[in-house]
C-alpha cells in the first residue's frame, strides 16, 4: 500500500473469481481477448483513433501498461485484471480517483463474451467496490452505463446499486454523444452489508422463488 494510492496493490478473490494487477505477461492473452471481442465491446467504448486490431495488439498493451503504472503512482487509478479460475477473462478499472473532500472514483469493466452470464463481472465489481470503500479509503464509487447495454446494466442491478439518474450526452462513443445511466454507492451504504454479501443474498432469494 502506498501513501499516494491507499489500497494498492489490489488482490481479491471470491470462489473462482479473482482480481489482480496486470502483468507484462498478460499482453498476448489480453490482445487475443480484445481482438476477438471487437463486435461485443466496440459499440460501448470510446474510439482510439486507430483500427481496433492496432489498438489492441500486444505492443499496445505494453504501452498501455506503462501509462497505467504512471496513473497508479499518481494515485488516480487501479487497473485490474479480472480472472476466472486463474485465467484472464476481462478487466476492471477504478479510475478518476479524487481524494480529500471528494473521495470519489468511477468503476468500469469489460469481459470476454464467452464468459459473460457466469456472474464473474458482478462478483469482481462487488469485491472491488467493497475494497475501495474500506481499505481503499474512498467514500463513493460511480458506475456509468449506456441504457442500451443490457448486460452491463444487469451487473449493476445484481448488486442493487442505486441508480441516480440519466446523464444526457455523457460520453462520445461510436460517432455521437451517448446517454448513460448513473449508478453509485457510498461507504455508508455498505457499512452493514458488503456488496458481495448483498449479491449472494439476492441470488439466494431469486433461487428460492
Q: Where are the domains of the chain?
A: 12-208
What is the CB neighbour count within 10 angstroms for residue 186? 15
Mean pLDDT of the chain: 94
> Would you say how long the chain is, in residues?
209
pLDDT at 49: 77
pLDDT in tens, 19-39: 999 999 999 999 999 999 999
Question: Confidence band (pLDDT; 50, 70, 90) for 1?
Answer: very low
Rounded mean pLDDT, 170-199: 94
pLDDT at 170: 94
Can you say whether the dihedral through the CA atoms of 48, 99, 141, 162 is positive or negative? negative
Distance (Å, whole) CA 7 – CA 107: 15
- pLDDT higher for 137 or 1? 137
Residues of the chain with pLDDT > 70: what percent? 98
pLDDT at 59: 96
Annotation: CATH topology of 12-208: Aminopeptidase (3.40.630)
pTM here is: 0.94
pLDDT at 205: 86
Question: Confidence band (pLDDT; 50, 70, 90) for 46?
Answer: confident
Q: Collapse the DSSP code of 126 into the 3-class scheme (helix H, G, I; strand E, B; otherwise coil) and give the result.
A: helix
pLDDT at 3: 57
pLDDT in tens, 59-110: 999 999 999 999 999 999 999 999 999 999 999 999 999 999 999 999 999 9
pLDDT at 139: 97
Distances 170 to 51, 177, 179, 186, 205 between C-alpha atoms, Å: 24, 6, 5, 22, 35
Amino acid at each position: 500500500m502506498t501513501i499516494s494510492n491507499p489500497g494498492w496493490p489490489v488482490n481479491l478473490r471470491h470462489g473462482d473469481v479473482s482480481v489482480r494487477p496486470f502483468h507484462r505477461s498478460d499482453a498476448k492473452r489480453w490482445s487475443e481477448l480484445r481482438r476477438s471481442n471487437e463486435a461485443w465491446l466496440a459499440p460501448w467504448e470510446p474510439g482510439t483513433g486507430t483500427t481496433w486490431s492496432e489498438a489492441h495488439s500486444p505492443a499496445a498493451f505494453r504501452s498501455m501498461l506503462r501509462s497505467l503504472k504512471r496513473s497508479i503512482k499518481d494515485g488516480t487509478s487501479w487497473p485490474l485484471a479480472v480472472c476466472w479460475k486463474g485465467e484472464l477473462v476481462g478487466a476492471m478499472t477504478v479510475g478518476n480517483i479524487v481524494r480529500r473532500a471528494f473521495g470519489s472514483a468511477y468503476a468500469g469493466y469489460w469481459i470476454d463474451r464467452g464468459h459473460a452470464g457466469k456472474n464473474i463481472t458482478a462478483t469482481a465489481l462487488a469485491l472491488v467496490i467493497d475494497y475501495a470503500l474500506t481499505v481503499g479509503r474512498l467514500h463513493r464509487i460511480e458506475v456509468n452505463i449506456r441504457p442500451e447495454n443490457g448486460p452491463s446494466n444487469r451487473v449493476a442491478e445484481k448488486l442493487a446499486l442505486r441508480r441516480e439518474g440519466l446523464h444526457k450526452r455523457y460520453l462520445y462513443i461510436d460517432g455521437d454523444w451517448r446517454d448513460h445511466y448513473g449508478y453509485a454507492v457510498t461507504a455508508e451504504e455498505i457499512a452493514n452489508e458488503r456488496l458481495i454479501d448483498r449479491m449472494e443474498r439476492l441470488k439466494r432469494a431469486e433461487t428460492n422463488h
